[in-house]
Structure 1
Amino acid sequence: MQKRTGMVSRAAVGTAAAFALLAAGCGTTTSGDAEGGTASIEDGFKVGLLLPESKTARYEKFDKPYFEKALAELCEKCELSYQNADQETAKQQAQAEAMLTAGIDVLVLDAVDAESAAKIVKDAKGQGVPVVAYDRLAQGGVDYYVSFDNRKVGEVQGKALVEALEKEGTAGEGEIVMINGSPTDPNAADFKAGAHAILDNEAEIGAEYDTPDWSPDRAQTEMEQAITSIGADDIVGVYAANDGMAQGVVAALKSAGVDELPPVTGQDAEIHGIQRIIAGEQYMTVYKAIRPEAETAATMAVALATGEEYDGGEIGLTEVESGDGEKVQAVLLDPVPVTEENVEETVVSDGFYTIEEICTDAYAATDFCAAANDSK
């Protein structure tokens, strides 16, 4: 359940204003119940950041550096303690315990398992340490949450797949395969629900899998099973919940001797996903502007540590409900679909990737790279 309590605008709007407010020590108002500390920007304080895994390239390459930079701009003397759990729930619990023992003042948590993370949240709050849920909504009563409208992500993917089938004239002619994300990730459930809301009315789903750990290798195995059960010629499209799993899907199709690949979806705008898109091996991905997400998380963390309330800036706050029924004030950012037609207007223009990073030797002959080089 989601209830809008603030004004919605573009993802990146309002972050600089929030920085200015916090740097000046000025509070804002909100209807939320977030707890606040008594640390100060002038003296600095300790911030813990726990990210869930490294199989998805975004966390180490983008989320952590963006968060670190935003925190440094907000609080020059603040100290960041960072750990990645490598998709292990017990490891993340141990990392959180170590950070709490070391005396962090606020915790930013991207949970491996939202339900299991309730213990981390309750332990932190029991020690007076507020918690920001980052990207995944942990249970246990977090203070704030920042992510994307995850059901909308699935809807964007589903709509793109339907559009691709219509373009190719294969809508209604065969079956699609759904390769969903990890069953322990609440975001994956939202992506899946959003995709089903579109695809159930537009396509025949021949096989569907929930993929532990978002594993590309497992996705490849699942796709191989689908090819065996349905037949490669009868698969007209594949819903892959992210780019890593899309890689496994494409590998399975190629291994099965499929020359004309069906449209395949993705998410996260990973560099290899973008390259598959310009090469015609993947139809689309979902670009989630990680910089404003990380900046918002840093702003929330500083506000909580210093006892300032946060109103979500120009994007505004949304009330969401976690898996254990807790109502949480959140900022939800908008996802953007990326196909070959708008690669340059999205990930390139935002500085996510350069043309040189995309157009390596293996992709230099693609129409996209040829056109990009001709325009220089």
Structure 2
Amino acid sequence: MHQSAPAPRPRILHLAQPVDGGVARVVLDLARAQLAARLHVVAACPGGELAAGLRAVGAEVHHWQAGRSPGPGLPGEVRRLVRLIDEVRPELVHAHSAKAGLAARLAVRGRIPTVFQPHAWSFEAVGGPTAALALRWERWGARWADRVVCVSEAERETGLRAGVRAAYAVVPNGIDTTRFSPGPATPLVPGPLVVCVGRLCRQKGQDVLLRAWEQVLAAVPRARLVLVGDGPDREVLRQRAHPSVQFTGAVADVVPWYRAADLVVLPSRWEGMALAPLEALGCGRPVVVTDVDGARESLPPTLADRCLVPPEDPAALAGAVAGLLSDPPLRAALGDRGRRHVLSTHDVRHTAEHIAALYRELLGAAGETAPCVPSECRESIHP
């Protein structure tokens, strides 16, 4: 009996720059899930840990030479990307973060279905004339994205308030709830332990945490703070740090630090929806985070009053941290609630399913009839 040939697998090109931190984890998680779903996953990035991780899970990886920030080399980066896209011939391009989103949209210009995922808006990361240029580009470049995927409703609203009129889809960030799970806590430092996981840079606000730390020590003298991660601000932060603060640099596995922590803190100045608080909650650890985009949506409502503080407010941050360090039963209760919330709302499998549905819609619109996107994606079109 004649059997029809299987339908060809859609070829998805993920384009990423930067290649570390939360962006890399999102791309790697999506690629892993899409490969399991038998999509043809191709990635282009400037190497680094992301390229190695993608190859390890079976993705086809191409080297794309590109700097982390826009600069004089941008025209050459776009030309290289045009040649790469001609070689790969993807059915859909998914560009991650501002730099990749800039280059991808200039290279494709609407000829192939294009998804742009900002992972926090570019105009929030800079100031002065540079911010004005970034905002002008995001407004203009939105016409070349079939969907702009925001990881929180707050991130979408920030784009709308800034005048970025786009076809938006909101797909909350997710984590691997098997990897980020409660487990034996090996004591890594003596005393009550606060852990901050993130790139050492202005966005993540470790300088605010160091300013707050003296007040925390006044209330909890035996407390210790560990900054897990590396980045451009490392030496400046070291010079400001109290002797009770430890710097680990980049680590291969952050899970032991989450499990060892009594409290996890992320004092960001801006985000879309940070992964570190979700990972900590997945490990059953309570968090204190600044009330930036995505923070409220990443927490169960019962944690907001205890766990959210205004950004760039060392006194409020110190009060929240010291208060929780002094109340072990409350920390345990908040960690348990947080774990249950992450399991129900921020499992990476849900995220991958919603992104897959979005791809099916865009690929269907490019060919035949598109299926509906699940309501959880909360798609909204803003002309």
Higher helix share: 2
TM interval, short-chain normalised = 0.3 to 0.5
Q: Which has the higher contact order (CA 8 A, sep 6+)?
A: 1
TM-score by length of 1: 0.39
